[in-house]
C-alpha cells in the first residue's frame, strides 16, 4: 500500500511548491534576457530561442509567489528578470499590445490575444505584490489596454483576438480568456484595492457562469459567436487544441468554482451585488466535473466532455487535476462538507502517483487514459507549472484560514 504525505499540511504543500520551483530555477533564466520556455523531463532545454507570452507572464507569477513564500533573494532577481523581458520584448514600443510569440526578440506572431493580455495584467499584479513597486502603474496600463481593445460593454465580456495592428477583430468569442481575465482582475484588486477591478471581475463571472450558462445547458461552454451564442462545432475536429479545445472542460468547471469562491471571499465586504449565487454555482460546476469527468477505471479527471456530458477526450492533463484539488479544498473549507475533502485526497493521491516527477521535479504535462506519458516534453510553452504551484499556494491559504491573493 502506498504511503502518501499529509496533503492537508501547509508544510507538505510548500515543500512541494519549492521542489517544483527547483526544476525551473535557475535553469530557466536566460542570461541574454527572459526565460527559457521548453524543458524535457530532466530539465534539459530543447528550444532556447522561442518565447510565448503565456510562459513569459506565468514566470512572473511563479517567481513572485516563490519570493513571497520563501523569501529567497534569487527569486526576487528572477522576478525582475522576467518582468523586464515582458516589458522590453513582448510589449509594443507604444504600449498598444503584446506579441503572442517571439523568436528571440523578433516577433514571430504578433496576434493580440485577450487570453495573453489577461496574463499580462495578472503578471503586473503579482509582481507588485511580490515587492516590485515599479510594476504598480502597469496594472492600470494593462487593464486600460484590455478596456480599450477587448471590452464590449454591451456584451459585458471581453472579445478574444485581434490582428497585430488591431484593425481586425476576430468574430470568435470564448469563455477561457474571460475566465483568466476574472482571475487577473481579482489579483489586480488584491494588489491595489481599487474597486473597479473587483467590480469587473464580478461582471465577467456573472455573465459567463450565469447568463452564458443559461444558453448552454446550465454549464460553461467554451466557444461562442460574435453575439455570444454558443458555437457547438468550433474545433470539433481539433479537440486537443491547447487554448480552445472542443467540449465542456471539467478543469474549467473546477477552475471557475475556485474563482467564484475567491470572488465571494474578496467581495463580501466590498461589493453591493447579490453574492448568493456564487457558492451554489461553484458547487454545481465542481459536482458535474467530478461526477462526469472522473475516470472510474484508471483514475484522474478526463480532459473534455461532449455536450451530452459523456467523455470525449480521455487524456489526463496536469492542470485539470491541480486546479480541481484547489477547488475541492476551498469548497471543503467553505461548506464544511467532508465529501470535498474526499475528492481532495483522491485528486492528490492520483496526481502524486502519476503526475509528480519525484526525481527531477515538476509535473508531467499530459498522460493517456491509462496514465502513460505521451512524450518526454515536460514543460513546453505555456506550462511552467503555474497551475500546480498556484494550486499549492491556494490550498495553503485555505488551510491557514485565508484567501490567497
Query: What digits encode the pLDDT tens for the residues 290-308?
Result: 999 999 999 999 999 999 9
Cell of 45: 532545454
- When pLDDT is averaged across residues 140-158 and rounded to a whole number, the result is 98
Q: How confident is the model at residue 240 (pLDDT cuts 50, 70, 90)?
A: confident
User: In whole angstroms, how far apart are CA 400 and each of 64, 302, 355?
Assistant: 20, 30, 26
Cell of 39: 524543458
Identify which of 143, 150, 145, 194 has the alpha carbon closest to the alpha carbon of residue 170.
150
Q: How confident is the model at residue 403 (pLDDT cuts 50, 70, 90)?
A: low
358 classed as catalytic: no
Q: Is the pLDDT of residue 204 over 70?
A: yes
- Give all domains of the chain, ordered by start, each with its CATH number: 10-400 (1.50.10.10)
Give the count of beta carbons closer than 10 Å to the beta carbon of residue 273.
13
| Residue partners of 369: CB distance under 8 A and separation at least 6 | 295, 298, 302, 314, 315, 316
Q: Is the pLDDT of residue 332 over 70?
A: yes
Q: How confident is the model at residue 71 (pLDDT cuts 50, 70, 90)?
A: very high
Cell 468550433 sits on residue: 234
- When pLDDT is averaged across residues 48-65 and rounded to a whole number, the result is 98
Q: What burial class does residue 154 get, using C-beta atoms within 10 Å of its C-beta: 0-12 exposed, 13-18 middle, 19+ buried?
A: exposed
Q: How confident is the model at residue 241 (pLDDT cuts 50, 70, 90)?
A: confident
- When pLDDT is averaged across residues 118-145 and rounded to a whole number, the result is 98
- pTM of the predicted structure, to 2 decimals: 0.97
Cβ atoms of 216 and 228 closer than 8 Å: no
Cell of 266: 474578496
252 classed as catalytic: yes
State the catalytic residue, choosing from 19, 252, 273, 315: 252
Amino acid at each position: 500500500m502506498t504511503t502518501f504525505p499529509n496533503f492537508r499540511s501547509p508544510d507538505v504543500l510548500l515543500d512541494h511548491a519549492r521542489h517544483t520551483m527547483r526544476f525551473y530555477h535557475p535553469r530557466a533564466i536566460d542570461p541574454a534576457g527572459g526565460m527559457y520556455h521548453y524543458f524535457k523531463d530532466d530539465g534539459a532545454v530543447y528550444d532556447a530561442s522561442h518565447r510565448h507570452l503565456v510562459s513569459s507572464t506565468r514566470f512572473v507569477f511563479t517567481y513572485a509567489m516563490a519570493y513571497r513564500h520563501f523569501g529567497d533573494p534569487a527569486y526576487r532577481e528572477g522576478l525582475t528578470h522576467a518582468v523586464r523581458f515582458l516589458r522590453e520584448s513582448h510589449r509594443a514600443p507604444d504600449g498598444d499590445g503584446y506579441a503572442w510569440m517571439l523568436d528571440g526578440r523578433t516577433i514571430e506572431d504578433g496576434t493580440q490575444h485577450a487570453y495573453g493580455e489577461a496574463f499580462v495584467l495578472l503578471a503586473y499584479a503579482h509582481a507588485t505584490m511580490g515587492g516590485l513597486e515599479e510594476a504598480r502603474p502597469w496594472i492600470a496600463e494593462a487593464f486600460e489596454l484590455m478596456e480599450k481593445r477587448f471590452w464590449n460593454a454591451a456584451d459585458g465580456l471581453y472579445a478574444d483576438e485581434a490582428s497585430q495592428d488591431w484593425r481586425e477583430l476576430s468574430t470568435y468569442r470564448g469563455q477561457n480568456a474571460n475566465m483568466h481575465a476574472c482571475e487577473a482582475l481579482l489579483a489586480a484588486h488584491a494588489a491595489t484595492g481599487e474597486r473597479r477591478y473587483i467590480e469587473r471581475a464580478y461582471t465577467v463571472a456573472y455573465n459567463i457562469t450565469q447568463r452564458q450558462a443559461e444558453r448552454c445547458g446550465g454549464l460553461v461552454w467554451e466557444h461562442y459567436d460574435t453575439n455570444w451564442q454558443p458555437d457547438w462545432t468550433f474545433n470539433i475536429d481539433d479537440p486537443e487544441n491547447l487554448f480552445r479545445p472542443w467540449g465542456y472542460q471539467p478543469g474549467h468547471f473546477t477552475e471557475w468554482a475556485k474563482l467564484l469562491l475567491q470572488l465571494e471571499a474578496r467581495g463580501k465586504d466590498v461589493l453591493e451585488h447579490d453574492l448568493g449565487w456564487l457558492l451554489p454555482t461553484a458547487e454545481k460546476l465542481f459536482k458535474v466535473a467530478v461526477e462526469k469527468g472522473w475516470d472510474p477505471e484508471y483514475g484522474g479527471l478526463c480532459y473534455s466532455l461532449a455536450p451530452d456530458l459523456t467523455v470525449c477526450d480521455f487524456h489526463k492533463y496536469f492542470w485539470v487535476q491541480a486546479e480541481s484539488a484547489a477547488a475541492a479544498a476551498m469548497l471543503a473549507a467553505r461548506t464544511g462538507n467532508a465529501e470535498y475533502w474526499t475528492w481532495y485526497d483522491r485528486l492528490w493521491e492520483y496526481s502524486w502517483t502519476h503526475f509528480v516527477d519525484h526525481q527531477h521535479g515538476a509535473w508531467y504535462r499530459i498522460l493517456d487514459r491509462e496514465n502513460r506519458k505521451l512524450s518526454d516534453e515536460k514543460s513546453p510553452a505555456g506550462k511552467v507549472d503555474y497551475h500546480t504551484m498556484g494550486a499549492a499556494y491556494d490550498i495553503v491559504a485555505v488551510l491557514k484560514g485565508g484567501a490567497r491573493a
